[in-house]
Amino acid sequence: MKSIAISNLCRPLGVPWPTGKDQIFNGVNIDSRTIKPGDCFFALRGTNFDGHDFLRQVQDKGAVCAVVDKDPPSDLKIPTIRVSDTVAALGQLASWYRRQIPAAVIGITGSAGKTSTREILYHILSSRFRCRQAPKSYNNQIGVPLTLLSAEPDDQYLIVEIGSNHPGEIAPLTRMARPSIAVITQIAPAHLEGFGSIGAIIKEKASILEGLEPEGKIFINGDIPELAAHVRRKYNRPFVMVGQSPYCQVRAESAHSCGTSGWLRIEGQTIPVPLAGTASLRNVLTVWAVCQELGFSLSDFVGSLRTVQPASMRLQIEHIGPVTLLNDCYNANPASMENAIECLSQMAAQQKRRGVLIAGDMKELGPHSIGLHRQIGRFAAERGIDVILAAGEFAESILEGAQRSDNAQTRLEQFHLFAGVEGLCNNVHLFVRPDDIILVKASRSARFELVVARLKDLFGLQQTTE
């Protein structure tokens, strides 16, 4: 972030400058644990915390000012800027700062694939440009402002994830980010509790175009006709369809996943993809569409793609002693779950090893939850997964789906249910074996990273990641 005077901070927030000596701040932070000297601290409130409780600590760590929405301690020495809502103020500052920086913003949204697409795109663009991306899955009303505020004056491209779990959240974020390129990766059942239908999800994801610059470029998943129809009808502006369908302008003539890796056929050339899962092929094709727009040749693109790594906890292959682990426990929805199970099935068949699915709940699916979890159990059974360990509220639904599969190649005793992740962790050693290939996947709130930690305890400290 470029240096800003505290007095200049007050203007976009619409509040008067507090009395005292003006100072410069060099960064914005919302976490008292990571405050650096020269930071401006925004005191946000959460379900289990209140940033106002840590004002003395951030002062001691070198923060030069704080933005608050209630009275600070009387003995606080750093200037405080009082606003009505610190989250809203964070967005106001980010919107103002976006107009001060020259970087072109690339906005990415979708039901799945946002983070992986962002990280692949960042890897490729960084080979040629000064590029910055969201440090994590910063895609909400707090994360998007923090990403914008992280930009430096000499950055050429800033890659921003924009997400939502309820209607009406994406449009204000994209107006804040003002992207010059908008990308819609995938539409799938996710956050149905908040949206209610696929049609509502399409409408929300397409609203990333609300803030797109007038001459901005649009790239959408062209294999979803309903998405293309909505964008054409609602926004009446040109867009590029990316996919395998014959009418896509950027098209993979063929695509194949081999489990741990795969390939795409583009413009008559075979492009190796060093990432697991079918969804990775779609993500890479989307990144190629953007990079082609920005002047990359296919040969340059392929050269940079060779060294790309998977996003953390997203179908990340780890070798733990004799066990191969597919760590995909950052998040889960039906589309990403099926992609991960397909990858597990392919790897198990190729390597002639047992495939073990350790599955948790897919959250925020509302009244569709039971049916969609049954669908996942059925899908796993039909793909010949040898062992399914399921934990959580919908574990029984996963088992029911597996039992109902006409093509199930597994026996009932190979399915085991647990009430919660703790019970699963305490008993997982009874069901997994050395040389298994194990997929661990659930929504983030299910805390299945505890299962990953338990497997690492069981099978040794030495591990490598692909």
Helices (H), 14-110: 55-60, 86-98
Instruction: Provide the CA 357 distance to its chain's centre, in angstroms.
Output: 22
Helices assigned H by DSSP within 163-243? 170-177, 192-195, 198-206, 225-235
d(CA 284, CA 267): 14
Q: Which CATH superfamily is domain 4-84 in?
A: MurE/MurF, N-terminal domain (3.40.1390.10)
The crossing angle, in degrees rounded to 10, of helices 369-382 and 334-351 is 10
Confidence of residue 7 (pLDDT cuts 50, 70, 90): confident
Give which of 132, 110, 374 is closest to 221, Cα–Cα: 110
Query: Per-residue confidence at 408, pLDDT binned at 50, 70, 90?
Result: low
Write out the two tokens for 14.
Answer: 């619409």
Tokens at residue 338, please?
A: 């099926």
pLDDT at 14 over 70: yes
Q: What is the pLDDT of residue 465?
A: 56
Q: Is the pLDDT of residue 462 over 80?
A: no
Total Cβ atoms within 10 A of residue 274:
17
Q: Which pLDDT score, from 0 to 100, does residue 192 have? A: 66
Find all residues with CB under 8 Å of 306, minimum gap 6, and list them. Answer: 272, 274
In eight-state DSSP terms, residue 50 is B
What are the tens digits of pLDDT across the range 69-120?
999 999 999 999 999 999 999 999 999 999 999 999 999 999 988 999 999 9
Q: For residue 144, give the nearest of 80, 68, 208, 239 by alpha carbon.
A: 208
Write down the pLDDT at residue 464: 54
3-state secondary structure of 182: strand
pLDDT in tens, 243-290: 999 999 999 999 999 888 999 999 999 999 999 999 999 999 999 999
Handedness of CA 363, 368, 373, 376 (dihedral sign): negative
Under 8 Å between Cβ of 391 and 423: yes
Residue with tokens 């597990």, as numbered in its chain: 344
| Residue 275: Cβ-neighbour burial (10 angstroms; 0-12, 13-18, 19+) | buried
pLDDT over 80 at 160, yes or no: yes
Q: Which fold has domain 101-305?
A: UDP-N-acetylmuramoyl-L-alanine:D-glutamate ligase (3.40.1190)
Phi, psi of 396 (to 5 degrees): -65, -35
Q: Regarding beta strands 437-441 and 415-418, do their DSSP bridges make them parallel or antiparallel, or are they unpaired?
A: unpaired
Predicted local distance difference test score (pLDDT) of residue 302: 96
Q: 375-393: per-residue pLDDT in tens?
A: 999 999 999 999 999 999 9
Q: Where in the chain is the domain with CATH 3.40.1190.10?
A: 101-305
pLDDT the model gives residue 134: 83
Q: State the residue for tokens 């000064």.
A: 130
Looking at residue 11, its pLDDT comes to: 87
Domain 316-465 has CATH 2.60.120.10: no
Average pLDDT over residues 402-410: 69
Bridge partners of 108?
Answer: 161, 183
Cross-strand pairs, 266: 269
Could you tell me if residue 12 is left (phi over 0), alpha (psi between -120 and 50 degrees) or otherwise beta?
A: alpha
Residue 281 near residue 264 (C-beta atoms within 8 A): yes
At 225 the pLDDT is: 94
pLDDT greater than 70 at residue 412: no
Cβ proximity of 207 and 172 under 8 Å: no
Query: Which residues on neighbouring strands pair with residue 80, listed in sequence order?
Result: 66
- Per DSSP, the three-state class of 120 is helix
The pLDDT of residue 19: 65
Residue 378: strand, helix, or coil: helix
The token pair at 372 is 């969609």
Contact call for residues 264 and 284 (beta carbons, < 8 A): yes
Is residue 400 within 8 A of residue 381, CB to CB? The reply is no
Instruction: Look at 74-83, 97-106, 193-202, 333-342 and tell me which has the smallest mean pLDDT.
Output: 193-202
In percent, how much of the chain has pLDDT > 70?
95
Whether the CB-CB separation of 355 and 433 falls below 8 Å is answered with: no
Q: Is the pLDDT higher at 413 or at 190?
A: 190
Angle at CA of residue 113, ends 107 and 119, nearest 5°: 65
CA separation (Å) from 38 to 1, 29, 252, 279, 339?
A: 11, 10, 49, 42, 45
The phi, psi pair for 196, rounded to 5°, reads 90, -30
Distance of CA 104 to the CA centre of its chain: 21
Residues of the chain with CATH 3.40.1390.10: 4-84
d(CA 180, CA 208): 11
